Amino acid sequence: MEWLMLLIFIGTFLGLLKYQQKPEKVFAVSLLVCLATGLVSADIVLRNVVNPGLVTLVLLVLCSFAFERTSVLRRVSAIMINGSKFQSTFKTLLCTAFASALMSNTAVVASLISTIKKNTLINPGKLLLPVSYAAILGGTLTLVGTSTNLIVNSLLIEQGANSLGFFDFTLIGFSAFLICLLVILSTQHLLPNLEIEKNSTDEYLLEAEVSLASKLIGLTIDDNGLRNLDSLFLVEIVRDARLISPVSPDEIIQARDKLIFTGDISKVLTLQQFDGLTLFAEKDGLLRDNLTEVLIKPDSAVIGKSLKKSGFRARFDAAVVAIRREGAQLSGKLGDIKIQSGDFLVLAVGNDFSARTNLSKNFYILSGHKPENMLSGWRDSLTVFGFLATIACSVIANIALLKCLMFYIAILILSGCLTVNEIKRRFPLEIWMVVLGALTLAKAFETSGVAELLAQQIELVLHGKGTYLALICIFFITLLMTEIITNSAAAALIFPIAYSIALGLGVSPLPFVMAVAFGASGSFISPYGYQTNIMVFNAGNYRLSDFMKFGLPVSIAYSIIVLSMIPVVFPF
């Protein structure tokens, strides 16, 4: 049995090396092999399916679907890049880290990439990689900051231990973040400059009007957070038939201003999060979830007419959300733009749109657009403050996080902040399968006798040499595995070994558990070990050598701080 278990473990490791993008399938095969060979029973597998740590992880991922659509990340990005270069860099890294401590660091980086690439103060090449590292370090601050912490917690609970606390990671993680932040700021100059992309002339033009009662009135563009929107850029303001372009950050918003944006049409609903902003199509009551892109035909009846006078609603049961023209820079109010042959329009369509007989004469219907369904108003506040209240209840009232999250998810669904369809569509099956496979492997380690045998051998090898050496070995093995086979897979694979070593040495397993958790989050010298690194690797056009040169000092500093702090915070 021992040799069979070792073969399965080695096979799992080799499978993760070969199929790095599909760790859930590798762990699924390992689970089935353990089940088929009798190393684990079906009852054990079913019990692992509802492991409290695993269910907590899944619920947190589901919560993040709603949290990502709130205005939090937009508000954070609005306060980051202003002032001097150093101040902006410092604020950006600080905000990224603390946002990552409470929500998915992948979502945080994804939402900031566009803002960073469009800023004119700091070259994006100098900031994208530091932001990824700040998100990784921020994830180590709390139990929910990164999936690796929750995976390790799931495996620990399966061993019969109590769940880790929400702030158990904070002292070590914050110490590592402060030191690594100093290293990042002092070596930022080593990163290459990214060639700035020129503004495209084929982006869609969108219009939003400031209502008389808007809270934006009397505040500047900068104060209102309209400078650094994700994939939308404020290019003009139309005020009393006067065109203001370019728009200064100090420009004060007035009532009835027409704000003209260009950018990604899928981000259009972000503008609804601003109080008193009304989109052009909203005036017709047709801004819906599904948008339709059309191309104007040469013999269309609306050519030469402005959008305001073409009678779109009456003709087609549709309202224009945005417009673009190949090879031309459009300007001015959306309603005053005269339609030309070959114009691209994005329409918010009514129920009668598809039944109209004049569509084929006027349009080529190209595709449907699904705008990102951003939360606004009371739903936005409910999602944000509900999540904070959930964490507070767990920490202050000492109520199990799992129980708190169950009620929070229920509130999100009942209030419409999160839909059942979205849960079905985005259910984190891959993470669930990785953790389930890891839990099963850990149990097979125990039942096969490998865990006990390994513990005895480790005790003989390290006899008289101290447990700290074993801790260092576990940390660096996990760190190396993270760079090779991704963070989640590394944590899942190394945990049973680390736990067995702790038992064999007769010491508390917690220092070794923490070594696995922090080692799995220490991906700084490879773009492939962590999702945020892959994202900025592509966005910043970095080379592998950039990661090595910039990330190695960060990795060294991180390792020294973590290995120094773990035995202090969690004694053997």
Give the tens place of pLDDT for each residue, 306-340. Answer: 877 888 878 888 888 888 877 677 777 778 888 88
Nearest to residue 548, comparing CAs of 521, 529, 520?
529
**pLDDT beneath 50, residues of the chain:** 199-201
Cα gap 93→90, rounded to integer Å: 5
pLDDT at 463: 59
pLDDT at 230: 65
Residues 486-528 have pLDDT tens digits of 777 788 888 888 888 888 788 899 999 999 999 999 989 888 7
pLDDT at 414: 92
Helix (H, G, I), strand (E, B) or coil at 324: strand
Beta strands in 123-227 (DSSP E): 204-210
* Cβ pair 529, 494 in contact under 8 A: no
pLDDT at 180: 95
- Per-residue HEC secondary structure of 411-446 comes to HHHHHCCCCHHHHHHHCCHHHHHHHHHHHHHHHHHH
pLDDT at 372: 60
Question: 244 Cβ partners below 8 Å, 6+ apart?
Answer: 236, 237, 238, 251
pLDDT at 409: 92
Residue ranges matching CATH 3.30.70.1450 in the chain: 204-263, 291-369
pLDDT at 199: 47
Nearest to residue 400, comparing CAs of 141, 104, 53?
53
pLDDT at 286: 56
Q: Residue 353 corresponds to which tokens in the numbers above?
A: 């749109």
Which top CATH class is 291-369? alpha beta
Phi/psi for 307 (5° steps) reads: -60, -35
pTM score, two decimals? 0.71
pLDDT at 200: 47
Could you give the dihedral angle defined by the CA atoms of residues 159, 12, 40 and 54, in that order, rounded to the nearest 10 degrees?
Answer: 40
DSSP 8-state assignment for residue 289? S
* Cβ pair 207, 280 in contact under 8 A: yes
The superfamily (CATH) of domain 204-263 is Regulator of K+ conductance, C-terminal domain (3.30.70.1450)
Question: Which helix (H) or strand (E) is 346 found in, with range?
Answer: strand 344-349
